[in-house]
């Protein structure tokens, strides 16, 4: 038991001056720290910052939040999450810390439009900090067509773009679907022709659209016949009163369903695949009225799926060819009946071989 005079204060531990430790003890101490503690240390002094650089510490995410009152950036690694807030002051030196943190990971800017004036938002977009960001998000509130045009003129298509805010129904911009990753909460202004214009992008997500199953089917048929890669992933929700009709989705498509997968999910293949990388498509029906489309390379285990689709495609071509020959046979003025019989015999023989090959694939 410990006693002390009633007139004296409770003794306190002296502060542990970690910044004054020699390098080796300092390194040992920081090895027991989590990511949040190390990051806070790095902001204390240039020496701490230098140590962080030497240790090549990496973050998974860096989010920067801007408003008229404060600047906040959030850092994430594994299950740890750190949020640091800077109150607005007379100096913009607070941005220096954010800029230095960018060396640790990819970063993106998130703008909350209900808390931010247009002038402030454009001010930050014009800073060097924005040039190094990999993504831009615009949340809440709404954006005018004029402001959207200015934003899309400014933000390079190599970046990620997410707009959760309302977008005018008549909005148009040539870059709207050219960003490598694009997410629109309101996609009702996007038309089927807009979807068909997509080329060489990664991921497009549309939370709300004006599309039904017939529109998605037209897009899939266009993808099959397109001579260029369009996208790798498309997630969209059909319009509110639409429902999923698998027969409408697969109309005029050569499809393949894999055993063990959902009965409503199916594969398709690109016809003109010489100049394309992602030639195998997969359509997945999600919950509610959501539809997902993924384009893959025909490699590994997917090679077999692609090969079966090739056989099915050729089978359909032969069946159509035989049907045309039989139609011509019924014509009275046919000039070379024996040649038509020969073509029909050859087509039947190849069709039989294809059916045999498909049966073998089913039992492989």
d(CA 324, CA 318): 10
What does the pLDDT read at residue 4?
39
Grade residue 209 by pLDDT with cuts at 50, 70 and 90: very high
320: enclosing H helix or E strand:
helix 302-329
What does the pLDDT read at residue 189?
96
Of 179, 176, 197, nearest in space to 188 by CA: 176
Per-residue tokens: 192: 């089927």
Residue 40 phi/psi, 5-degree rounding, is -65, -40
Read off the pLDDT of residues 294-308 as tens digits, 9 standing for 90 and up.
999 999 888 888 888
Q: Is the pLDDT of residue 169 over 50?
A: yes
Per-residue tokens: 22: 């020699």
How much of the chain, in percent, has pLDDT values that exceed 90? 37
pLDDT: is 292 or 359 the higher one?
292
Q: Is the pLDDT of residue 84 over 90?
A: no
Tell how strand 231-237 and strand 290-296 pair up. Answer: antiparallel
pLDDT: is 55 or 332 the higher one?
55
**Contact present, 283 and 229 (Cβ < 8 Å):** no
Domain ranges for the chain: 16-57, 60-189, 313-362
Max CA distance (Å), the chain: 125
What does the pLDDT read at residue 114?
84
The number of C-alpha atoms within 13 Å of 333 and in the hemisphere containing its C-beta is 0
The number of C-alpha atoms within 13 Å of 168 and in the hemisphere containing its C-beta is 11
DSSP structure class, residue 20 = G
pLDDT: is 232 or 95 the higher one?
232
* CA of residue 53 relative to chain centroid, distance: 30
Whole-structure pTM value: 0.72
188-192, 240-244, 331-335 — which one is most confidently predicted on average?
A: 188-192
126: Cβ contacts below 8 Å, ≥ 6 apart: none
Q: Is the pLDDT of residue 355 over 80?
A: no
Grade residue 5 by pLDDT with cuts at 50, 70 and 90: very low
Q: Is the pLDDT of residue 212 over 90?
A: yes
Of 288, 289, 213, nearest in space to 253 by CA: 213
Read off the pLDDT of residues 108-166 as tens digits, 9 standing for 90 and up.
788 888 888 888 888 888 877 677 788 899 998 889 999 999 999 999 999 999 999 99
Read off the pLDDT of residues 25-63 as tens digits, 9 standing for 90 and up.
777 777 777 666 776 777 676 766 676 666 666 666 666
d(CA 177, CA 202): 10
45: Cβ contacts below 8 Å, ≥ 6 apart: 19
Cα distances (angstroms) measured from residue 331 to each of 299, 340, 347:
47, 12, 20
């Amino acid at each position: 038991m410990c006693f002390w005079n009633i007139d004296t204060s409770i003794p306190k531990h002296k502060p542990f001056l970690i910044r004054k430790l020699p390098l080796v003890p300092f390194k040992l101490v920081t090895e027991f720290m989590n990511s949040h503690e190390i990051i806070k240390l790095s902001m204390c002094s240039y020496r701490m910052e230098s140590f962080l650089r030497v240790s090549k510490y990496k973050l998974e995410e860096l989010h920067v939040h801007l408003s008229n009152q404060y600047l906040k950036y959030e850092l994430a690694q594994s299950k740890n999450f750190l949020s640091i807030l800077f109150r607005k002051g007379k100096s913009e030196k607070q941005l220096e810390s954010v800029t230095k943190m960018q060396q640790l990971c990819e970063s993106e800017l998130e703008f909350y439009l209900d808390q931010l004036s247009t002038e402030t938002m454009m001010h930050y977009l014009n800073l060097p900090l924005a040039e190094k960001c990999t993504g831009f998000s615009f949340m809440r509130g709404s954006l005018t067509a004029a402001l959207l045009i200015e934003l899309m003129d400014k933000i390079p298509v190599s970046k990620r773009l997410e707009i959760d805010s309302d977008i005018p129904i008549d909005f148009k911009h040539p870059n709207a679907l050219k960003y490598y990753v694009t997410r629109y909460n309101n996609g009702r202004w996007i038309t089927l022709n807009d979807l068909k214009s997509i080329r060489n992008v990664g991921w497009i997500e549309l939370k709300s659209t004006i599309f039904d199953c017939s529109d998605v089917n037209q897009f899939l048929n266009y993808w099959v016949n397109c001579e260029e890669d369009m996208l790798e992933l498309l997630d969209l929700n059909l319009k509110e009163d639409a429902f999923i009709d698998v027969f409408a989705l697969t109309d005029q498509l050569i499809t393949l369903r894999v055993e063990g997968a959902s009965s409503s999910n199916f594969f398709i293949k690109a016809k003109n695949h010489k100049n394309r990388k992602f030639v195998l498509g997969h359509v997945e029906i999600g919950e509610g009225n959501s539809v997902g489309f993924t384009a893959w390379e025909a490699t590994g285990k997917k090679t077999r799926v692609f090969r079966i689709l090739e056989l099915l495609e050729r089978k359909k071509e032969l069946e159509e060819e035989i049907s045309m020959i039989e139609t011509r046979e019924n014509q009275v003025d046919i000039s070379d009946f024996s040649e038509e019989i020969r073509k029909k015999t050859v087509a039947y023989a190849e069709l039989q071989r294809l059916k045999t090959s498909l049966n073998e694939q089913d039992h492989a």
